[in-house]
A and B are shown apart, each in its own frame.
Chain A
């Protein structure tokens, strides 16, 4: 196929050659030859027209289309000749790139990207606790001290953030509200997109984010002057923040309003975030020194001189206000892991390309001897590398997008949507192309022949060193895979064990309903609402059970001491009126049924158990065993709160249910009717069992309608509490599994390359073995042995490394088991299985190849 521009040129050249032949024939005729003889002689002396045409064609400047076409042919030819290798290389590269891309998205969000919308952000600093770069809150008095005493900060501001219900134009939204001091907007250099930012002393105004404004009213300007209610306080919207500015933390702010004066308790750090702007020419180091001085002076004034500093100053976006700094550390650690994975993948692609280039060594040597240019000889591996890089990058983009959308929100801060920024997508593509081109160049450089006579010696040298290099890379890849697989399996086993741990609660379709009052409410009003809402919910067909509770499992707890005459359950064998402090649950009669806790003996709480009636309670089996070991708990007397209080009779025993902690010993708990409170306990939550998840929102909306604008009805899964416990395990298991699978793919691709190289290098050796009568099994063994030994070495080193790595991991997750032989064997089998699969194509070629043609090859 010829490029469009070349066709015209070729016709022109044909005409030119025809003209040459015509002139030559006429010249010969003029010298006396007959026309036919002259034409024949002219044709003969001209030589090979095809060669002249080809040689002339080679001088033309290739059109862009022609060049692209040629490169495309080179690339597709390379891919067609070894499709399995191409797929392996693309997968390996895509895996490494996707891992790097995904972690780059996380790192970018957590600490690379500067805070948007802030003028000269590098001049803005934040106060951190000494020794920690976590943006935790500081005592308000530290802000006051810095504002008054700092000589290096041009401005100091404080703010605190709360998530709370806000009413804007009769619309109730849950918003993140920042209360800020006067200097806040000026310090950050933020001007309102519409209206104005709050002026100093303006306690009644507020600024809303562009996002909230468009959510509520569709346009920004229409919200100006509107009344906005934050809790009980009414404020007027003075301005709309620019769309680029969402505060200085990772989670976006929706509303900014004035921060009232705070208590000046120097020892309370549950206060405000403090930020400042450097004076011109002042470095952060100088400002930090100055801030420490101001802090020390403040403590000394209060009569408590510091023995060591309690604060430090640092850049605004060290952790971007992340409340879980572990995320940053984990992301940073995983990024390095991903880079290692990418390097291993690039190593695999390089070995695949080198193997392929070595295989075409003779053809390249002949071309070199015939005068082929350096670029013409190196073009093929480089173009093939670029093509693999492009395919790998394209696959990686898809993988990265999937991981960012599906995996990252589960692992890192999930309150905000994640996306793949175009800059990182472009970087992934560029990295993919560069990796491919680099692998191609290395492959070309390793096999570049100077001339035919030196080619074979070069080839021999390459052949001698190639197996060692390839096997070394494979051993490292195997070792990495093994460590990651062992860790992943440990976390999966741990997560499975934790997820299956009996809780004594059926959390699957259980919801917790609470009410956020909008404004101050009279005492007992919230309890009255919940009682009304319980009756309303119980009447709805979507709700299987509804019960009131004073505390919620894994969310809140309450303990009331109990007294058992003649016993001290805390000290075994001790007699006397001791005290015991179990968990006390004040619930409505249907509670145990609603949360799925089974009754073991006796009866549960009933509607007849009312105030003024006989005091009753239900104990769980743990408490029953501890209070009355070997005795029947039913009918026993417990005195709640004080030893002289009246008896409360045990009417039933329930199964042990976890309430405060997921792990560890259970302190025991008992259930008392809400109608018989001890210290004025009232319901704070409604437990609802809604079998179909899709009905939950309808139930909430219906109850919100019943409550009106007195408060916001919130409904959340009861499993939210245990999710906090399970999340690190699930995140760890998921991340390590994904990374381990990626490493496994890279290892398999590496084994594929090694097997391919080994096949070509040992082709004659193996053919001779077979010719001498070696069986297929023996030939296979001889072929696989070097790779198997390499992999086995990698597996053993990996197993030892993973045993060593578990120690530090158990520091973070104490429940993590030590890998046993079974787990190590599973990981080893997975690694070796992948390697075995990758060796199959080469092995099949070795065993199926005809022997004699191989031996006849030079």
Chain B
């Protein structure tokens, strides 16, 4: 069991980050810096996305056809590469959200479980 742990951990992080990125783009296109800022702000800096993980994830999601990208100009007037959800990305986000809700509910139930309630 122990010898497979590192691989599982990496897989979990990848999956979670992908979900966070897709959700950040649910309300419209955004660029890499703003996506990272959005995740940090929304979680009160509990979750911080490192650039070493962010950009590989963005490029991987784009390769998988879940994101699309194009260069544009940001709110502050600087040039930036904007990512947006594709139709496939939106569907994927919805299914991943359902799965995540189910998993978190299950985990919540386990955490809230008391022996005398059985």
Contacts and interface: CB of A to CB of B under 8 A. Distances in A.
- Chains A and B form a bound pair: yes
Interface of A: 12-13, 15-17, 19-20, 22-24, 26-27, 46-48, 51-52, 55-56, 58-61, 371, 450-451, 453-454
Contact of A23 (B56, B63, B71, B78): B78
A23 B76 contact: yes
Contacts of B7: 371
Contacts of A23: 31, 33-34, 74, 76, 78, 80
B26 interface: no
A13 B54 CA distance: 13
Given A56-B59, A450-B3, A20 B51 contact: yes
Given A19-B81, A51-B52, A52-B56, 20 more contacts: A15-B79, A15-B81, A16-B55, A17-B51, A17-B55, A19-B33, A20-B51, A23-B31, A23-B33, A23-B34, A23-B74, A24-B33, A26-B76, A46-B51, A47-B52, A56-B56, A59-B56, A451-B6, A453-B3, A454-B3
B117 interface: no
A23 B79 CA distance: 9
Interface string B53-67: 001100110010000
Given A19-B81, A23-B34, A52 B3 contact: no
A19 B78 contact: yes
B37 A27 contact: yes
Contact of A59 (B6, B32, B51, B60): B60
A3 B33 CA distance: 28
B59 A59 contact: yes
28 contacts: A13-B55, A16-B32, A16-B55, A16-B81, A17-B55, A19-B33, A19-B78, A19-B79, A19-B81, A22-B78, A23-B31, A23-B33, A23-B34, A23-B78, A26-B76, A27-B33, A27-B37, A47-B51, A52-B51, A52-B52, A52-B56, A55-B56, A56-B55, A59-B56, A371-B6, A371-B10, A450-B3, A453-B3
B59 A20 contact: no
A27 B74 CA distance: 12
A467 to B, nearest CB: 28
B55 A60 contact: no
Interface in B1-50: 3, 6-7, 10, 31-34, 37, 50
Which 10 interchain pairs have the tightest Cβ spacing?
A: A23-B33, A59-B60, A59-B59, A55-B56, A56-B55, A20-B33, A19-B80, A16-B81, A56-B56, A59-B56
Contacts of B37: 27
A50 to B, nearest CB: 11
Contacts of A56: 55-56, 59
Nearest to B34: A23
Contacts of A20: 31-33, 51
A797 B2 CA distance: 50
Contacts of B6: 371, 451
Contact of A47 (B32, B50, B78): B50
A52 B36 CA distance: 15
B32 to A, nearest CB: 5
A451 B56 contact: no
Given A23-B31, A27-B37, A61-B63, A55 B81 contact: no
A48 B55 CA distance: 13
Contact of B63 (A52, A59, A451): A59
Contacts of A17: 51, 55
Nearest to A451: B3
The CB with the most chain B CB atoms within 10 A, among A17, A23, A48, A52, is that of A23
A26 B56 contact: no
Interface string B100-118: 0000000000000000000
A33 to B, nearest CB: 15
Contacts of B31: 19-20, 23
B101 to A, nearest CB: 28
Contacts of A59: 56, 59-60, 63
